[in-house]
Amino acid sequence: MNESPNHPNRQTASYLSRRLAAAGLRPVTRFGQNFLIDLNLVDLIARTAEMTKDDVVLEIGTGAGSLTSRLADAAGAVLTVEIDKNLHQLASEELAYRSNVLLLQGDALRNKNSLRADIMDHIRDARSRLGDNARFGLVANLPYNVATPIISNLLHESPSPDFIVVTIQKELADRMVASPGTKDYGALSVWVQSVCRANIVRILSPKVFWPRPKVDSAIIRLDAEPKRRAEIPDLVYFHQTVRALFFHRRKFLRSVVISAMKGRLEKVQVDEILASLGHGEKSRTEELSVSQIQALVEALRQAESLESRL
């Protein structure tokens, strides 16, 4: 069989460790370098994404390039970003013959609140080359320490992803799919579920990675819900306000809203809004459904914009 040196069938722990050692490298903990070594799972991620040759796929964390190869087989264009110069070099050699893969070196995040700017320029370019049916997806085994800002920020971008299939910490996946009234339900659950459908595909034990992380992981799939998204007139205001509403989890909703709106709305205005939406003195943010939170944030936004016009 004609296997490229990076054929995923060769991505076992011992193959990877020898390959890195030959290049004088070792996994770098601070970059979250836990490589997926169970090849069936690399396949599962690629299959779950249901990519076609019309699709543009973003991968953050190229690593040694094994998932990248699968993505290149299935998608029309792949943009992959790797922070580690040495791994970027290694993967560039492995993927050199792949004409539909563009490799970038550097941090995928410009800061906590935004992605590196040229990522979306490349995605828009690739989409315009592939044509009107081109969909955009994020498919990756994400570095755990930056998984939340990557997903949260990408959901603000234009185009926003049609689908996301990623490996993340199980605890983070639990928060994304959490229901009201549970301990995991918070600002991230509301933000993700306001613009996507979220499903956990598979829980992964540490032993499918090399080196082994300390915690379980999960493959999660998010599908864009454009209708839900269109119901939110100002996504930035919405996301910021949702974060503020969950900031003090132990407090009652009324005092949380009053402190979030300090200097912007009077207490009496907050009380009127809460009463009009049927939220009593004992209501708490974490008991509100996603649509109740959307209604509350929208009422606050409208009251604020009325206030600023007076």
Ligand X SMILES: C[S@@+](CC[C@H](N)C(=O)[O-])C[C@H]1O[C@@H](n2cnc3c(N)ncnc32)[C@H](O)[C@@H]1O
Place of tokens 């996946």: 173
Footprint on residues 116-145 left by ligand X (CB under 6 A): 141, 143
Per DSSP bridges, beta strands 217-224 and 196-204 are antiparallel
15 lies in the site for ligand X, by CB under 6 A:
no
Give CA–CA dist 188/176, Å, rounded.
Answer: 6
Per DSSP bridges, beta strands 114-115 and 163-169 are unpaired
Backbone phi and psi for residue 173, each to the nearest 5 degrees, phi listed first: -60, -40
Tell me the closest approach of the beta carbon of residue 82 to ligand X, in angstroms: 5
Tell me the closest approach of the beta carbon of residue 135 to ligand X, in angstroms: 21
108 lies in the site for ligand X, by CB under 6 A:
yes
300 lies in the site for ligand X, by CB under 6 A:
no
State which residue, 15 or 237, has the beta carbon closest to ligand X.
15
Instruction: Report whether 50 belongs to an annotated binding site.
Output: no
Helix, strand or coil, per DSSP, at residue 173: helix
Segment (H or E) for 139: strand 136-141
78 lies in the site for ligand X, by CB under 6 A:
no
State which residue, 112 or 183, has the beta carbon closest to ligand X.
112
Q: Which stretch binds ligand X (CB under 6 A): 62-70, 175-183, 192-200, 268-276?
A: 62-70
Instruction: Report whether 141 belongs to an annotated binding site.
Output: yes
Q: Which stretch binds ligand X (CB under 6 A): 1-9, 102-110, 174-182, 250-258?
A: 102-110
To 5 degrees, how large is the angle CA 197–CA 202–CA 207? 145
- Residue 62 per-residue DSSP state: -
Instruction: Report whether 272 belongs to an annotated binding site.
Output: no
Residues 293, 191 contacting (CB under 8 angstroms): no
Q: Which two tokens stand for residue 27?
A: 């996994």
Extended beta strands in 189-286, E state: 196-204, 209-210, 217-224
Q: Which stretch binds ligand X (CB under 6 A): 80-88, 92-100, 152-160, 279-287?
A: 80-88
- Interaction mask 31-60, ligand X, x per CB under 6 A: xxxxxx-----------------------x
Give CA–CA dist 59/79, Å, rounded.
Answer: 6
Counts for the chain of helices (H) and strands (E), in that order: 13, 11
Q: Which stretch binds ligand X (CB under 6 A): 82-90, 155-163, 221-229, 268-276?
A: 82-90
Tell me the closest approach of the beta carbon of residue 91 to ligand X, in angstroms: 9
Write out the binding residues for S-adenosyl-L-methionine: 34, 36, 61, 82, 107, 141
Binding residues for ligand X, rule: CB under 6 A, are: 31-36, 60-63, 66-67, 81-84, 87, 107-109, 141, 143, 146
